[in-house]
Amino acid sequence: MPDHLIQASVFPSELTLLRAAGLAFAVGLIAFALWRRRELSNGAILMALLGGLALAIVSGTELVDALLEAFAFEQGNGERILGLAVFAIAILFLLVLRALTEGARMNQQLSALLEGLAWEEFRDAKLPERFRDRIAVVIPAYNEGENVTAVIDRVPDQVCGVATSVLVVDDGSRDDTSEAAARSGAVVARHVINRGGGAALRTGYRLMSESGARIVVTLDADGQHRPEEMERLVKPILDGEVDMAHGSRVLGDADPNTRSRELGIIFFNRVVSLITRTKVSDCSNGYRAVRTTVLPSLVLRQEQFHTSEFMIEAIKRGIPAEEVPVTVDRRLSGHSKKPAVVRYGLGFTNAIVRTWLR
């Protein structure tokens, strides 16, 4: 083909104002990436260069028109605009997917960093010996300075003849939660920022696994769980019947909650029972006991909606477990940290689906 025909088919016959503006912006974007290359990350520089190059191709050539024609987007009736929208949405989807993947990776790194810092401080203070071969009572807490003392004071010194020790994981509280817990005789591990109850429990599980605790019992810092009922959870494990015991308000008792939350509990219990083929009566209860040696086998990633994740993980991995009746009371004081009903439902659904699919 003659050179002049190739040129005519690749480059536009006239440089419109819109094309000129696009070319100018493309040159500016590429120049900006090269000028600020020492300040920008490699990913940002690459994105800027690719964006500038793509814009230059769109503005300065007819290649896009040829591509649209290849996909049957002909001129007229807005088909070209539709084609551009389709390609733009596809590219945007890929960029969003990349951003979400990068965000998840950074989130995991931050969680690992917080856990590592907590363990280093814990070990340097020579605290692991306080939990070795004991029942470790792990209490995640966020702004619970008003309640955590009353909860710690009710924890028995022994359960089924085995001594207990209390660990409070302060998840970035802005009040005196850490000070109040320490005054009550508990060991305190602290996150410098708030990450959620699931993140606090992961830190507690790691500290107790590394310390050689025999059993880990988790309960809330707001007074909704009764420490006096701890024997119900611990006894089946010490007797060798199971490796973990989950508290159930359905089998036991609970103060009335809002109608929407009670219906939500019923719904999610049925969903978890269906997908795991295991009868589950209370998948949202954080009062449980677990043999410490099984904790490393669980993949726990949820920052906030962690109760169902723990139960589903245990069922998937075939860990012997049972539900035991417990009582769930109203908070001692203050307001619940749980999000609004709709957001809570969406978050709980997301946690269930992601745990089951991975």
Residue 307 covered by a domain: yes
The one-digit pLDDT tens for each residue of the chain (358 residues) are 454 444 445 666 666 787 788 889 889 989 988 898 888 888 788 888 888 888 888 777 777 777 777 777 766 666 667 777 787 888 888 888 888 888 878 888 888 888 888 888 888 888 999 999 999 999 999 999 999 999 999 999 999 999 999 999 999 999 999 999 999 999 999 998 898 899 999 999 999 999 999 999 999 999 999 999 999 999 999 999 999 999 999 999 988 777 777 888 889 999 999 999 999 999 999 999 999 999 999 999 888 888 999 999 999 999 999 999 999 999 888 877 777 777 888 888 888 988 888 7
Nearest to 160 by CA among 219, 229, 109: 229
**197 in the same domain as 87:** no
| Cα–Cα dist 72/59, whole Å | 21
Q: What is the CATH number of the domain that holds 165?
A: 3.90.550.10
Q: Does residue 331 share a domain with residue 214?
A: yes
| Residue 166 falls inside a structural domain | yes
Regarding whether 270 and 205 lie in a shared domain, the answer is: yes
Claim to verify: residue 58 and residue 129 sit in the same structural domain: no
Cβ pair 148, 168 in contact under 8 A: yes
Q: Do 161 and 95 belong to one domain?
A: no
**Residues 114 and 195 sit within 8 Å (Cβ to Cβ):** yes
Is 157 in the same domain as 255?
Answer: yes
Query: Locate tokens 């690992």: which residue?
Result: 112
**Is 21 inside a domain boundary?**
yes
Give the count of domains, the chain.
2
Residue 157 maps to a domain = yes
Helix (H) or strand (E) holding 57: helix 42-60
Range of the domain at 29: 3-102
**Domain-located, residue 25:** yes
H-helix or E-strand containing 126? none
Residue 117, domain member (yes or no)? no
User: Which DSSP string corresponds to 82-132?
Assistant: HHHHHHHHHHHHHHHHHHHHHHHHHHHHHHHHHHHHHHHHHHHTT-GGGTT
Q: Is there a single domain that holds both residue 206 and residue 308?
A: yes
- Assess whether 331 and 212 both reside in one domain: yes
pTM: 0.76
All residues at 6 or more sequence positions from 53 whose CB lies less than 8 Å from its CB, including other chains: 26, 30
